[in-house]
């Protein structure tokens, strides 16, 4: 037996959907407004995971221009049948008010690492769609259904047959599960074992009341009876557990017949406090007992920070390479993503200046449309990220630099900007807290004589500290220590008297704005991201 430490996929990687194909395991996770859509990680041993694909990499598959924060791609469901991989996903367009616009799509491929098809529209009844392949060859689509009547919202779980030859849902729509007293029933997955259909759902909302519920039926359309010890996995009544927010799970069986659940989790900085790393993916061993019900193998309901997996093989090469990125390759590092739109040479070019990433300034950090920003997840409680910037702004509307970002309303930005007539340039820090902008420095730092400037951030749990230098080996702190816990789902929801989507996590990256619309550019020589011990 070998010990495996949770989470297995760290930093903003929620809503895991897992499959095994032969000796290979794959997990798909949600990406929300970040493009390309859906992260697929691969492992040989359930412990070491490597990002291998973001399948929704074309606008024809994923058009998110203008979608609100924390909308876009929700809860992908990955499945495999015969020689084909299937991926169901939502592209949520709006979530304010009583109506929710949640179109759902299906894409397929025969090679998970290759290009995926253009999407087939499924429906817009709800979100968290899932595809089950029955052993008679029929396919069934399930999802939660949104219900706007009397503020209900969560309307239970629906089921309908999907005809792959007709590329559409067919036949009667069944409402198969109303949920339990925990409430907020979503994220259905169906499994079949020993003559039973098992329906796994997430309940309790994706915060500290989150849970995994299980029901079963002899018929796929129900009726479903509830597990006697429901929920089967949760930390909702265990505020001191290391892993919190546990829910939205999926099951996988190994080739040796062992069962595991993967599920989203959060690691708060304090007891049921803020989770700066967002919702992550963890794993727990499960066991089928003689009553044909599934149980948490550890015997205690809250998942553990460390579990044991038998016959664990090494999977060298799965861990991330954290060497400096010199921007001297044909493609960007796979960990970079953009907001809502594809990364193209039009605004992020590796060829305009050899050995540099040239960013052409676009809209502001508040924009839901055409930002010029590339960033990566913060995946450890202690990280350092740095870059070297060459930038010649010609007006105060030209801005470029290093950003710590949660959404369009919440970020910290160490940046270079120009003056009124473009004769001087300065270094400043801007903080955005629910769209309230503040200049952190009493006076900007004049760097007019510097052709290049070095920028760095140290993110350590709840603390963010920026640095700058005129050479790489001479870092000077700039500004006070900032509250990094504000870049979290929990903070964004605090103090709100309405439901506010907040489902992502902290990112760190580089960006450029030209608020005049003339496309002034900034050149970044290199990028460093390094994780320290948590």
Question: How many Cβ atoms sit within 10 Å of the Cβ of residue 496?
Answer: 10
- Of the candidates 239, 307, 237, the one whose C-alpha atom is nearest the C-alpha of residue 268 is 239
Contacts of 315 (CB under 8 A, 6+ apart): 43, 44, 45, 47, 48, 50
Can 186 be counted among the known catalytic residues? yes
Rounded Cα distance, 294 and 189, in Å: 14
Collapsing DSSP to helix, strand or coil, 155 comes out as: strand
Strand partners, 212: 202, 233
- Of the candidates 376, 388, 379, the one whose C-alpha atom is nearest the C-alpha of residue 327 is 388
Greatest Cα-to-Cα distance within the chain, rounded to the nearest angstrom: 78
Rounded Cα distance, 402 and 365, in Å: 12
- Of the candidates 412, 444, 442, the one whose C-alpha atom is nearest the C-alpha of residue 428 is 444
At 242, give phi and psi (nearest 5°): -70, -35
At 478, give phi and psi (nearest 5°): -130, 125
Strand partners, 44: none
C-alpha R_g of the chain: 23
Which secondary structure element, helix H or strand E, spans residue 142, and what is its range? strand 139-147
C-beta separation of 320 from 311 below 8 A: no
C-beta separation of 267 from 261 below 8 A: no
Rounded Cα distance, 105 and 93, in Å: 13
C-beta separation of 309 from 47 below 8 A: yes
Q: Which of 123, 128, 161, 186 is catalytic?
A: 186
The secondary structure of 425-482 as a DSSP string is EEEEEEEEETTEEEE-SSSPEE-TT-S-EEEEEEEETTEEEEEEESSTT--EEEEEEE
Rounded Cα distance, 179 and 155, in Å: 9
At 56, give phi and psi (nearest 5°): -90, 80
Which secondary structure element, helix H or strand E, spans residue 489, and what is its range? helix 489-493
Q: Which of 15, 280, 390, 489 is catalytic?
A: 15
Can 24 be counted among the known catalytic residues? no
Catalytically active residues, by annotation? 15, 186
């Amino acid at each position: 037996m070998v010990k495996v430490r949770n989470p297995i996929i760290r930093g903003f990687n929620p809503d895991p959907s897992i499959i095994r194909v032969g000796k290979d395991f794959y997990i798909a996770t949600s990406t929300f407004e970040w493009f390309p859509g859906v992260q697929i990680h691969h492992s040989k041993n359930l412990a070491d995971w490597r990002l291998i694909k973001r399948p929704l990499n074309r606008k024809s598959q994923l058009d998110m221009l203008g979608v609100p924060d924390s909308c876009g791609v929700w809860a992908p469901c990955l499945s495999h049948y015969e020689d084909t991989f299937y991926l169901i996903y939502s592209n949520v367009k709006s979530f304010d008010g009583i109506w929710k616009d949640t179109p759902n799509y299906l894409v397929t491929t025969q090679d998970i690492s290759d290009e995926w098809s253009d999407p087939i529209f499924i429906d817009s009844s709800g979100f968290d769609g899932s595809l089950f392949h029955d052993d008679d060859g029929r396919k069934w689509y399930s999802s939660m259904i949104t219900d706007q009547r009397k503020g209900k919202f969560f309307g239970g779980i629906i089921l309908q047959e999907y005809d792959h030859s007709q590329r559409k849902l067919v036949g009667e729509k069944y409402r198969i599960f109303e949920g339990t007293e925990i409430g907020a029933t979503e994220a259905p997955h169906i499994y079949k074992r020993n003559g039973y259909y098992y329906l796994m759902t997430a309940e309790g909302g994706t915060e500290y009341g989150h849970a995994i519920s299980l029901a079963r039926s002899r018929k796929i359309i129900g009726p479903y009876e509830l597990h006697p010890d429901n929920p089967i996995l949760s930390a909702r009544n265990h505020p001191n557990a290391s892993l919190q927010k546990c829910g939205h799970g999926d099951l996988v069986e190994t080739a040796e017949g062992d069962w595991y659940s993967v599920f989203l989790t959060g690691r708060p900085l304090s007891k049921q406090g803020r989770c700066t790393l967002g919702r992550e993916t963890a794993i727990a061993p499960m066991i089928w007992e003689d009553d044909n019900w599934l149980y948490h193998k550890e015997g205690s309901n809250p998942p553990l920070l460390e579990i044991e997996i038998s016959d664990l093989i090494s999977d060298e090469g799965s861990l991330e390479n954290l060497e400096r990125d010199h921007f001297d390759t044909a493609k960007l590092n796979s960990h970079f993503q953009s907001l809502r739109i594809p990364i193209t040479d039009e605004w992020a070019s590796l060829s305009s200046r050899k050995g540099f990433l040239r960013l052409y300034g676009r809209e502001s950090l508040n924009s839901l449309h055409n930002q010029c920003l590339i960033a990566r997840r913060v995946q450890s409680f202690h990280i350092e990220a740095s870059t070297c910037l060459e930038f010649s702004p010609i007006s105060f509307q030209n801005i470029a630099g290093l950003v710590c970002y949660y959404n369009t309303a919440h970020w910290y930005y160490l940046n270079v900007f120009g003056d009124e007539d473009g004769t001087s340039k300065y270094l400043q820090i801007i903080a955005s807290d629910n769209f309230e902008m503040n200049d952190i420095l009493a006076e900007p730092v004049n760097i007019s004589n510097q052709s290049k400037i070095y920028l760095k951030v140290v993110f350590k749990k709840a603390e963010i500290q920026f640095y700058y230098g005129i050479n790489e080996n001479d870092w000077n702190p700039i500004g006070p220590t900032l509250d990094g816990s504000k870049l979290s789902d929990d903070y964004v929801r605090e103090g709100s008297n309405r439901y506010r989507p907040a489902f992502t996590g902290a990112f760190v990256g580089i960006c450029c704005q030209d608020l005049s619309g003339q496309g002034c550019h900034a050149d970044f020589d290199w990028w460093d991201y390094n994780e320290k011990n948590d």
